[in-house]
Structure 1
Amino acid sequence: MTKRLILIRHAKSSWDAPFDDHSRTLNDRGRSSATALGNYLKMRGDCPDTVYCSDAARTIETTERIVAAMGAAPTIHRIGKMYNGSAPALWNVLRKAKGDVVALVAHNPGIAFFAEDLVNKAPNHPRFLDYPTCATLVCDFPTNDWAEAVSRSGQVIDFVVPKDLNQ
């Protein structure tokens, strides 16, 4: 059996409001991108059973918009340690994950390093290594248990950024 991971960087956030970084919400472009991504994932049939997201406002809003566009009802966990989490912190979340199709919604730079460490071969996409806002990696792992997932074992199924979605 395989497990599927959907790794999403939060959508574009606003710098206009005088909030602290943790409280920043999405801007209009980010809202549009998150909805477009949700529609795209639904079309592909990549709807997660469980979503783990940072507890920052922009990751929560990204998650809510994606899930609403999919018309799905996954279990959603907000995890404080994912806020600006490192690749090892994200591995820790993944290895404790429940579900066959799991989404993680997090931040750069940790998510970019994590994505690179996940896959056995990077996708042929010019934006993979910098992992821009709302970038999304879909990859499969040859395991029955997330606790057994190991570095460089993920098989890339898809990688997309908002500009690829023709919003």
Structure 2
Amino acid sequence: MSARAGVGPLRRLVVLRHAKSAWPEGVADHERPLAPRGRRDAPAAGRALAEADCLPDLALCSTALRARNTWELASAQWGTPPPVRFDPRLYAAEVPDLMGVVHEVSPEVETLLLVGHNPGLAELVLDLAGDSLDNGLDVVRTKFPTSAVAVLSWHGTGWQALASGTALLTSVTVPRGKRPGKSGGTTGATTDGTTGGTSGEKVRGEAQGTSGDTAPGQAEGEPPGQAG
């Protein structure tokens, strides 16, 4: 099983949460840049999509600086990046807002990349996925950390037909870039929560410390009141 049954060509929605961001003092949330780890992880996300043969025909990206930085570093791994639209509606968007933007996409696009923020992206994945391979839905419910990538597959005549429960969640990965001084290549968590090498991240059953986009002094998992 690779996609939900339906009428029309196979389509894929690739959901990428922005990489780890910094919290410079006095900088508005919308203008926060990537942290050093985020600048390592974003290219790893791009490489992971290329290795999975999951490159998009079109990208929709939040206008927040950390999302734009993530897009730039990820797409730089692909040779010729696809067209991208920077849409302010994707910043701090909830599921209805995200769906409204996706529904505007031309039916000529078969693989669409969405670069944005939590909690909206994780909630979108959970809303759209009627089922998942392995334990992907459990992974997303537990945590969808920075630089996480979820791939949803479905059949449809156009993006307007994408609705709650119509897609299959085929993969969830958390690509991680090589840390300075560490040996081994890029790796990441898979839907079963296991990691390879030394630079991956477990998604389930392990506290992540500062792996989320958490403000200094804020408890992990506590809503920051801003786009995550």
Deviation at 1:96, TM superposition (A): 1.0
How far does the alpha carbon of each residue in 1:103-148 deviate from its partner, in whole angstroms, 9 at most, with x for none? 0011111111111101012451454123111111111111020011
1:59 aligned to 2:67?
yes
Match of 2:52 among 44, 48, 57: 44
1:134 alignment counterpart: 147
The code of the aligned residue for 1:63 comes to W
CA contact (8 A) 1:9 1:136 kept: yes
Following TM superposition, by how much is the alpha carbon of 1:17 offset from its aligned partner in structure 2, in angstroms? 4.8
Equivalent residue for 2:112, pick from 95, 102, 121: 102
- 1:7-46 alignment, distance < 5 Å: 7-46=15-54
Amino acid at match of 2:140: F
Q: Partners in 1 of 2:111 and 2:98 — Cα distance?
A: 16
Aligned to 2:179: none
Post-superposition shift, 1:25? 0.7
Q: Work out which of the two has the higher radius of gyration on C-alpha atoms and give 1 or 2.
A: 2
Tell me if structure 2 keeps the 8 A contact 1:8–1:103: yes
Gaps of 5+ in 2: 1-8, 176-187, 190-195, 200-228
Paired residues of 2:32 and 2:65 also in contact (CA < 8 A)? yes
- Superposed CA RMSD in Å reads 1.6
- Code of the residue aligned with 1:41 in structure 2: it is L
The code of the aligned residue for 2:165 comes to R
Equivalents in 2 of 1:56, 1:88: separation in Å?
19
CA distance in 2, matches of 1:17, 1:35: 26
RCO comparison, higher one (Cα < 8 Å, 6+): 1
- Give, in whole Å, the separation in 2 of the partners of 1:75 and 1:17: 33
Structure 1 stretches (4+) deviating beyond 6 angstroms? none
Q: Which residue of 1 is the match for residue 88 of structure 2?
A: 80
User: In the alignment, which residue of structure 2 is the partner of 1:147?
Assistant: 160
Q: Aligned residue for 1:89? A: 97
Give the gaps of 5 or more residues in structure 1: none
* One-letter code aligned to 1:73: P
Give the distance between the partners of 1:116 and 1:49, measured in 2 at CA.
23
What code does the residue aligned with 1:43 have? Answer: E
Asked if 1 retains the 8 angstrom alpha-carbon contact of 2:132 and 2:170, the reply is no
Taking the aligned partners of 2:89 and 2:23, their CA distance within structure 1 comes to 23
Q: Count residues with an aligned counterpart.
A: 167
Partner residue of 1:116 out of 112, 123, 126: 126
Letter matched to residue 97 of structure 1:
V
Question: Are the counterparts in 2 of residues 2 and 144 from structure 1 also a CA contact under 8 Å?
Answer: no
